[in-house]
Every structure is written in structure tokens, then in C-alpha cells.
Amino acid sequence: MRLDIARLPMDWIITGVLAIALMATFLTAFNLTVIKGGEKAEAPAAERPAPPAEGGAFQIRAIPTLKFDLSVLEIPANVDVTILFINQDTGVPHNFSAYTDSSAKKALAVGEICTAPCQNSVTINVAPGTYFFRCDIHPVQMTGKLVAR
């Protein structure tokens, strides 16, 4: 059985083309992981541990559209760690705060709120484990995991 595209209603063809374009846009916009040859491709940059910045501080950035540049921030455990927060979301107030868990009831470090462009830092010392971070101004949109090893 052969599909004769010329006999399809035009609205079906347009809908199909739009669906393919929408899927391509979605996959690109959300930087989804692709499985290649049975193996998972490299994780998107937002999921990789951040290396320490100059001077030994770890960096995390607020970027346009109410996002952090990282969804996972990995730090060493049981030592004082400075986390440099850089707000690049021009004209929008943000901060970086770390909590024991996603309930955000017990703060480990609360950064100052600043309106971009700006930066500030917090120092944290935690036992090995997984913790929670967020922007206190945008607690639903801007969240992530803080992993201490």
C-alpha cells in the first residue's frame, strides 16, 4: 500500500508538518538527551557538576527566562565551600539559597536578593548528601539539587 500525498487533504499535510516542526523545537529547546547506539549521550551541561570557579568558589548563574544555568551543583562535603551566585537575568531580582530538602523549611545558606546584573556569594559546609537549592523569589521555576560528596 502506497501513500499518495497528493490525495490527502491539505489541512492534514499542514498539521503533519507543524507537528514535526513543533517536536523538533521542543527537543532543541529542552536539550533532551538522545540515546545513540544503545548508550546514553553525554548529559546536558545543566546536569553536569560545576567545576570550581577562580579562587576555589563554585559558580551558579541566574540566566534569562527564570532559570539557573545548572540543575545540579556538586560540591565537596565537610569543608567550607563558597558558592558565587551571578545574576545575568537583566532587570530581574534573584538569589541563591540552599535548604536541607525541597520543603525549604531549614535553610543551609540564604543569599542576598539582587537585581541583575549583580553577584554575591554564600558559604556552606554540609555532610555528604543531597540537598535542595532555589531562588527564593521564584521558588517554583528556579530549583535544583545540591550534592555534597
pLDDT per residue rounded down to tens, the chain (149 residues): 566 656 667 776 677 666 676 665 555 454 444 434 444 444 444 444 455 555 568 999 999 999 999 999 999 999 999 999 999 999 999 999 999 999 999 999 999 999 999 999 999 999 999 999 999 999 999 999 999 99
Please give the model's pTM, rounded to 2 decimal places.
0.65
Q: Find out whether the peptide bond into 93 is cis, omega within 30 degrees of 0.
A: no
Instruction: Say which residue the cell 542576598 belongs to.
Output: 112
Nearest Cα neighbor of 84 from 104, 105, 112 is 112
Q: Which CATH architecture has domain 45-148?
A: Sandwich (2.60)
The burial class, CB within 10 Å (0-12 / 13-18 / 19+), for 128 is: exposed
